[in-house]
Structure 1
Amino acid sequence: MKCDLQLDELPPPAPVIAALRQARRALLACHEDPDPDCVGSMLALARGLARRGVRVTTVCPDPLSTALLQLPGAESVRAPAGLGEEGPWDTGIVVDCEPARTRDAWPYLASAPVVINIDHHETNDGQVGLVWVEPEAAATGELVFAVLSALPVELDPAMACHLFAALQGDTGSFQFDNTKARTLRLAAHLVELGASPGEISQALYETRELGYVQLTGEVIRTLRRSPDGRIAWVHLTREMVERAGLRDSEVEGFVRYPRMIRGVEVALLFRETSDGRVRVSLRSRGRVDVSQLATRLGGGGHMRASGCTLAATLPEAEARVIALVSEALRDGSLPRGEEHAPDLGLSQSDQAIRADLS
C-alpha cells in the first residue's frame, strides 16, 4: 500500500535517498544487544530495498531473542561469522546506532564503497559515510518510514509490523515522553497498513519462558538504593542467567523495576555478559542526561535511556557507574573529563573500532 502519510518534520537528506536508489547489493546491520527499534527498522528497510530489486543481507552482532524472532523475516538475520562469503556489497547501511556498535559486522560494512548511517541517537557523532542522525525522532523506525516514502516504496503488512514494533519499542509502548503526535499518527497509519498492535505486543512483551518469570524475582531481590534514595540498581550474574536456562538475548527489561520506585532519579541494571564484561543499562527521570554518562563510559543512547559495556568485574562496574551518577546528581551537571578515557572501562576491541572510525 502506498505511503500516503508524509512526515514533513523529518525529511531525509537527498544524498542518502540518492545513494539508496543506486544500491544493487546492500548489507544492513543493527547494533549489539538488539531491540525492537533496531531490528524492526533494519528489516523494514531491507524489505523495502528488496522490493526495489536490491539484493540485501541483514546482520546483527548478537543473536536475536525469541521475541524478536517473531518479527516477519527475522530468521534471515545473519551473524557476522562467515559473512564475507556473501559479499561484496556496493552499499553498507548501519541502522539505529553508530558504526562501532555493529562490532564484528563493521569490517564488512566498511568494505562497501558507500556507507549510510541512519540513527536517532544524539550520541552518534555522525563521522562515517552518508549520515542521517535525527534525535527528534522517537525511534529510528520513524526515519526509515520517511526513507521508504521518499524512495518511494509501498509498504506491505510485514513492513508495517516491523515499523510498529520499532515505534512501540523505543517509546515504551507509547508511554515515554518522546511519544509525539507525529509518532501516534504514524502508528495509526501502520495499523491501517496491516500492523496488529495486539499480536505485536503479545510477541514482544507478553510471552516469556518460565525461567524469565522466575529470574524476575531473583533480580528484584538484588535491588539496592543509594542513601538518599535517588539511585536504585539491580544486577544479573552469569550464574543467575544460566540457572534460569536463558540466553543473553532473553534477559532484557529488568531495569524497569528500580526505575518505577518513587523518588528514584536514575535506575541501573548491571548484567554480566558471556565474554566477561558488564553491560550497564541506565534510565533517568530527566534530572540527569544519562546519554552523557554512557558516552563517557564508551556507550551512548538517549537522555533518559542509554547503555554501555565495561571491561570490569560486576563490583567494579557498580562502584564506577554509581559514583559517576552520584556526582552528576550532586552537582546538577556532568563531571568534567576526557570522553572515552580507557580507564573508564572501554574494552580494547571497542577502542580499536573507535580508533578505526576516527
Structure 2
Amino acid sequence: MNYSNAVTAVESARKILITTHIRPDGDAIGSAVALRRAICTKASGRERNPSVEILFLGEVPQVYQFIATEPVLLWGREVTEEQVQAGRLEEYDLIIVVDTSAIRQLPGIGEYLQKRQKGVLVIDHHLSGDGIGHIRLIDTGACAAGELVYGLIRQAGWPLDKTAAAAVMTAIGTDTGWFRFENASAKAFRIATELIEAGIAADDIYQQIYLSDPPERLRLLGMVLETLEILCGGRLSLIHITRDMLNRSGAKRSHIENIVNVPQQIGSVIAVALLVEEEDGGTRCSLRSKSLVDVNAVARQFGGGGHARAAGLTIPEGLPAAKAKILAALSRELE
C-alpha cells in the first residue's frame, strides 16, 4: 500500500473534515477518532496547526463513547443537507471518508463527494463502492479500515498516543469479532500486539464494548431469539426486529449491533439474516455467513454490499415482503 499521496494531502491541508457511513460502528468511529488524534498530535506546537473535525452521520452508540470523547459535528445538528447544498463543505481543504466508499452509505453528502473536484481521500476495505475520492487507500484484504488508518499513521511517522491506539484497537477488534472472524489475519494480531506494547489495556476496551450493555438490550435480545427460524436443513437462520419490539424493550437502534452474530452459535447454521423494520416502513437487513455463502454477492442483488462473510442492504418494503426476498436469495445460495 502506497500512502505517500495521502500523507501529502493531509500534511498540506489547513482544514480537514473526517466522516464515515451512516449508523457508525466501532471500525468507523475508531478509525475517525484515531486519525484525528494522530493528525492533531502531530501538529501540536507547530505554528500552523490544521483544524480537524469529525462529522458523524448518526449518533455515536453508548458503547463507543469512551473513545469519542472530544466534540464532533452531528448530521442534522451542526451540518444539514441544505447547508451542504449551499456550499457548507467547501471550507474544507480535505475531506477524509473512512470505512466506506458507497454513496448509499453517505446520505446527504455522498453525491456532493462524488461531484467534488478535489480534496477527497477515501480509506476503505469493503468490496463494494462507487469510486468516490481523488486519493484512495482501498484494500479489500484489510481486516478493517482501522488497519489502513494505522498503516497511514505509521507510514507518515505521526505519533500514536494511548487515545489513538485505543481507537485503532476498537476499530480492528470490533470488525474482527475480537479476533474470532475469518478476517482476523496475522497482520491484525501484529498490530494488536504493537498497540498493547504502546500501553493500551485490551481487556478494558473489551469490557467497554461487550460487557457494558444496559438491561434494555438484553430484553430486546430475548425478544429477538423468540423470532428465531432455522431453515434449509438447519443451515440458514432468520431473526427479525420490529418497531414494536424496540418500543416494548426500551432499547435503542444502536443496541441492535452484533445481535446478528448470535445465531451463528448454532453448529449447523452457515448463514444468518437479521431483518429490522425501519421507521419509514422499509427493512434493513444484516447478513452473516461462516463459509460457502458469499453474503456480499447476495446483498449486491438488492443494492447493498460489504464483505463475503458480512454484508448489509435495505429493501424499501415491509418486513414480510423483505423476508420472502431474502429467504429466496439465501436459499438459492445454499442449494
TM-score (norm 1): 0.84
Native 8 Å contact 2:17 2:96 kept in 1: yes
Partners in 2 of 1:120 and 1:185 — Cα distance?
A: 18
**Equivalent of residue 119 in structure 1, options 99, 124, 129:** 124
**Equivalent of residue 88 in structure 1, options 86, 91, 108:** 91
| Residue type of the alignment partner of 1:248 | R
Native 8 Å contact 1:283 1:304 kept in 2: yes
**Against the structure 1 CA distance between its residues 25 and 80, is the aligned structure 2 distance closer, same or farther, given a 3 Å change threshold?**
farther
Is 2:316 the counterpart of 1:311? yes
**Against the structure 1 CA distance between its residues 276 and 59, is the aligned structure 2 distance closer, same or farther, given a 3 Å change threshold?**
farther
**Equivalent of residue 281 in structure 2, options 276, 280, 286:** 276
Partners in 1 of 2:70 and 2:279 — Cα distance?
A: 23
Q: How many residues align?
A: 320
Q: CA deviation at 1:41?
A: 0.4
1:78 is aligned to 74
| Residue type of the alignment partner of 1:26 | I
2:238 is aligned to 233
Secondary structure of the 1:93 match is strand
| Residue type of the alignment partner of 1:61 | L
1:173-252 paired onto structure 2 within 5 Å:
173-252=178-257
| Residue type of the alignment partner of 1:183 | A
1:265 is aligned to 270
**Equivalent of residue 63 in structure 1, options 54, 59, 66:** 59
**Against the structure 1 CA distance between its residues 254 and 173, is the aligned structure 2 distance closer, same or farther, given a 3 Å change threshold?**
same
| Residue type of the alignment partner of 1:94 | V
Is 2:145 the counterpart of 1:140? yes
1:34-73 paired onto structure 2 within 5 Å:
34-51=24-41, 52=43, 53-73=49-69
| Residue type of the alignment partner of 1:103 | P
TM-score (norm 2): 0.90
Partners in 2 of 1:183 and 1:39 — Cα distance?
A: 18
Over the matched positions of the two proteins, sequence identity in percent amounts to 32
Deviates more, 1:68-77 or 1:275-284: 68-77
Secondary structure of the 1:307 match is strand
Q: CA deviation at 1:176?
A: 1.0
Is 2:29 the counterpart of 1:20? no
Partners in 1 of 2:187 and 2:258 — Cα distance?
A: 26
Native 8 Å contact 1:234 1:269 kept in 2: yes
Secondary structure of the 1:56 match is strand
1:349 is aligned to none
Residue by residue over 1:193-232, the C-alpha shift from the partner in whole angstroms, topping out at 9 and shown as x without a partner, is 2322121111111111111111111100000121422111
1:103 is aligned to 107
Partners in 2 of 1:275 and 1:109 — Cα distance?
A: 25
Q: CA deviation at 1:19?
A: 1.4
Secondary structure of the 1:70 match is coil
Secondary structure of the 1:58 match is strand
**Equivalent of residue 302 in structure 1, options 285, 292, 307:** 307
Native 8 Å contact 2:102 2:130 kept in 1: no
Secondary structure of the 1:104 match is coil
| Residue type of the alignment partner of 2:55 | V
Q: CA deviation at 1:129?
A: 2.2
Q: CA deviation at 1:165?
A: 0.4
Residue by residue over 1:137-157, the C-alpha shift from the partner in whole angstroms, topping out at 9 and shown as x without a partner, is 111111001111122211011
| Residue type of the alignment partner of 2:319 | L
| Residue type of the alignment partner of 1:93 | I
Q: CA deviation at 1:266?
A: 0.7
CA RMSD of aligned residues (A): 1.9
1:164 is aligned to 169
Partners in 1 of 2:131 and 2:3 — Cα distance?
A: 13
1:8 is aligned to none
Secondary structure of the 1:143 match is helix
Deviates more, 1:298-307 or 1:247-256: 247-256
Secondary structure of the 1:255 match is helix
1:344 is aligned to none
